[in-house]
Amino acid sequence: MKTDTLAIHGGFAGDRETGATAVPICQSVSYAYRSAQELADVFDGKVPGYIYTRIANPTTAALEARLTQLEDGIGCIATSSGMAAIASVVMGLVKAGDQIIAAAGIFGGTVSLFENTLRRFGVETVLVDVADTQNFAKAISDKTKLIFVETIGNPRMDVPDIQAIAEIAHKANIPFVVDNTLTTPALFQPGKFGADIVIHSTSKFINGHGTAIGGAIIDTGNYDWRKGIFEDIKKLTEKAGQLAFLSHLRNLIYRDLGGCPAPMNSFLMLQGLETLPSRMVRHCENAHKLAQYLQNQPKITWVNYPGLIGRRFYNRVQELFNSKGGGLLTFGLGTKERAFKFIDSLKLAKNLANLGDAKTLVIHPASTIFHEFSATEKEKMGVPADMIRVSVGIEDFEDIKADFEQAFEKIS
């Protein structure tokens, strides 16, 4: 089935007992068995069954099945947030003394996890500019345990050459982890271009309505864990085959970290997925129109949208994302004060720390999401003081434009 159909039907064929067409919300912590032996067998993995919702849950399993199909992967683990997904994957791969190579200009929370939290556990991160793919090859050492990029960097809007980086990673036998939050499987399937593990913050476009935080990890099946560089996971392949990495997470890392989603939130993600492909088309159309409008607006100093003709990553957007530049853009107004004044003047767009909502959202990243970083670090991460980030919603474009126009009138 095609993406539009899988988004609606994938992973759930209706409830046999009741005929319900929506996935039932299984709001239960645990699952009772008739005999002690039966539960012991489930724990031992001799018979399939649910044990405890921190490890697996039927509603969440339906979401995992749908995301597996949408990413054309071999399996998925849904998590309580995008950060829980990233933390689980990374902690499942690295040990003290290891190194991560990550794209510069990615989400501030991910950089903080790598640079602050993981550094406390002896893990180093090298941030590289994705404009030159060879930067990844140059940064690889015998300590490197994973390469991490976002399909479109949030907020620098850099688009890495996924296929070329995958080749570099595989030559060194290192897993390539791709955060597909900004493009979603509606625009792009990283696994088709060589990614080994796909990450999502489902809180964004997948949920689509700003109603639940969530994340997901999908193993695309590209990395051969039997021949991999991780001895513990390699050992697991004897039992779990290619599902060894997900089994390593489910039965150890993810289980121990406790980042499971609430069943209700899994339901909200399933509901969001149904309209994801149609919403993404509209997000991209509106963002493209807004970027074009801003390009001709004399009061701004710059605009960054990778879908604009002639931009640095325009060709990659054409090749990878079926000519769609995503729903996010940034622009500058010269100073922080002008940026604040503009945000304060908007009436329709909401000033908040999220993206991918049906509603148009704006934020001043330098004083919010990136507030903990120094001015020099912010510049390096692509977050200048005058930057406004817009997550362009699916309202009528004329209303979005009118809101921006009246806000521009308020600034000199």
Ligand X SMILES: Cc1ncc(COP(=O)(O)O)c(C=O)c1O
Contacting positions for ligand X (CB under 6 A): 81-83, 107, 109-110, 150, 154, 179, 181-182, 201, 203, 213, 215
Query: Is the Cβ of residue 244 or residue 269 nearer to ligand X in the bound state?
Result: 269
User: DSSP class of residue 30?
Assistant: B
Q: Which residue is nearest to ligand X (CB)?
A: 82
Residue 404 CB, shortest distance to ligand X, in Å, is 22
Residue ranges of E strands in 291-366: 302-304, 328-332, 350-351, 361-363
Contact 280, 72 (CB under 8 A): no
Query: Is the Cβ of residue 268 or residue 407 nearer to ligand X in the bound state?
Result: 268
Query: Is the Cβ of residue 263 or residue 326 nearer to ligand X in the bound state?
Result: 326
Tokens of 155: 């907020």
User: DSSP class of residue 334?
Assistant: S
Residue 267 CB, shortest distance to ligand X, in Å, is 17
The C-alpha atoms of residue 306 and residue 148 are separated, in whole angstroms, by 20
The pairing of strands 75-79 and 99-103 is: unpaired
Q: Which residue has the tokens 């071999």?
A: 74
Query: Is the Cβ of residue 228 or residue 307 nearer to ligand X in the bound state?
Result: 307
Query: Is the Cβ of residue 83 or residue 276 nearer to ligand X in the bound state?
Result: 83
Residue 149 CB, shortest distance to ligand X, in Å, is 10
CB neighbours of residue 189 within 10 Å: 22
CB neighbours of residue 70 within 10 Å: 26
Closest CA to 257 of 66, 84, 9: 84
Contact 261, 79 (CB under 8 A): yes
Residue 153 CB, shortest distance to ligand X, in Å, is 8
Query: Is the Cβ of residue 324 or residue 338 nearer to ligand X in the bound state?
Result: 324
Residue 157 CB, shortest distance to ligand X, in Å, is 12
Contact 399, 170 (CB under 8 A): no
Residue 103 CB, shortest distance to ligand X, in Å, is 11
Residue 271 CB, shortest distance to ligand X, in Å, is 17
- Please name the amino acid found at residue 109: G
Query: Measured in whole angstroms, how far is the alpha carbon of residue 238 from the centre of its chain?
Result: 31
Query: Is the Cβ of residue 113 or residue 128 nearer to ligand X in the bound state?
Result: 113
